[in-house]
Amino acid sequence: MARHFAAKGHHLALCARRIEQLESLKASLCAAHPDITVVVHALDVCDHQQVFSVFERSREQLGGLDRVVVNAGMGKGASLGIGHEAANRKTAETNFLAAITQCEAAMAIFRQQGRGHLVTISSMSALRGFPGSGSVYAATKAGLRTLSEGLRADVYGTDIRVSCILPGFILTPINEDLRRAPFRVGLEEGVAAMVRAIDTEKGEAWVPAWPWRPVGWVMKWLPLRVLAKMR
């Protein structure tokens, strides 16, 4: 995603836990696009105070923030009640509680500026509940989707935009070992679709639109006995 936005001429603030990978990416982006500014910060989104300080530092370095993408997520949970409470709790903390903090930090900056575009990355799994490891993951993504809609209502009529992106299966480390990943697309195709959706600044987008728009409508009406087999 950073490479796509860099090619469009955007200045970037990149945040992740692994600073070495960010530094390597920064060097690559600056070599390919010498007219853009790229800043990088080590950030664990579960360190809530650090989120605020890193976002504010990024704003200072770039002279403002036009868009913030809340993208951190994990899916290491399991069925509830079988001894994986710690993994389920960590998934919930990373995907939802940390997302709230990131949205807080971003919205505080946007309200000060009087403009901005908040983007949350949810999932097509937000449309239904799923068994097994999908239970907590889907719940967090549904929560993020609802939070995004509430934020859109909260800033309706202003120059602050809020978009929620619901990707289907895109080949990344979070799903590369899944036995079932229907309609999964490669990383480049999936990211290109996400970037196009983000640039429209629409309130919500299911990506890639084909086949996930029709599949999404089907998902809403699947009987529970069918969902129970999706492990």
CATH code where residue 110 lies: 3.40.50.720
Examine the residue annotation and report whether 137 is marked as an active-site residue of this protein. yes
Do the domain assignments include residue 125?
yes
Q: Is residue 157 in a domain?
A: yes
Q: How many CA atoms lie within 13 A of 25 on its CB side?
A: 20
Task: Give CA–CA dist 12/148, Å, rounded.
Answer: 23
Confidence of residue 124 (pLDDT cuts 50, 70, 90): confident
At 126-151, the pLDDT tens digits run: 998 888 888 999 999 999 999 999 99
Q: Report phi then psi at 184, rounded to 5.
A: -65, 135
Q: What is the pLDDT of residues 34-49, one digit of tens each?
A: 999 999 999 999 999 9
Q: Please report whether residue 73 resides in a domain.
A: yes
Please report the pLDDT score of residue 9 as a whole number: 96
Residue 214: what pLDDT? 81
Report whether pLDDT(13) > 90: yes
- What is the model's pLDDT at position 181? 60
For residue 112, what pLDDT is reported? Answer: 97
- Domain-embedded: residue 40: no
Segments forming the whole domain that contains residue 85: 65-227
Band (pLDDT 50/70/90 cuts) for residue 217 is: confident
Compare 175 and 62 and report the one with higher pLDDT: 62
CA quadruple 97, 103, 108, 113: dihedral, nearest 10:
170
Q: How many domains does the chain have?
A: 1
Residues paired with 132 in a beta bridge: none
Residue 14 lies in a domain: no
Residue 163 covered by a domain:
yes
pTM, 2 dp: 0.91
| pLDDT(183) > 80 | no
Side-chain half-sphere CA neighbours of 156 within 13 A? 7
Question: Residue 132: what pLDDT?
Answer: 87
pLDDT category at 208 given cuts 50, 70, 90 is: confident
- Side-chain half-sphere CA neighbours of 194 within 13 A: 28
Is 122:165 a contact under the CB 8 Å cutoff? yes
The whole-number average pLDDT for the span 67-86 is: 91
Task: Out of 5, 96, 137, 169, pick the active-site residue.
Answer: 137
Would you say residue 23 lies in a domain? no
- Residue from 172, 159, 149, 140 nearest 1 by CA: 172
Residue 213 is predicted with a pLDDT of 80
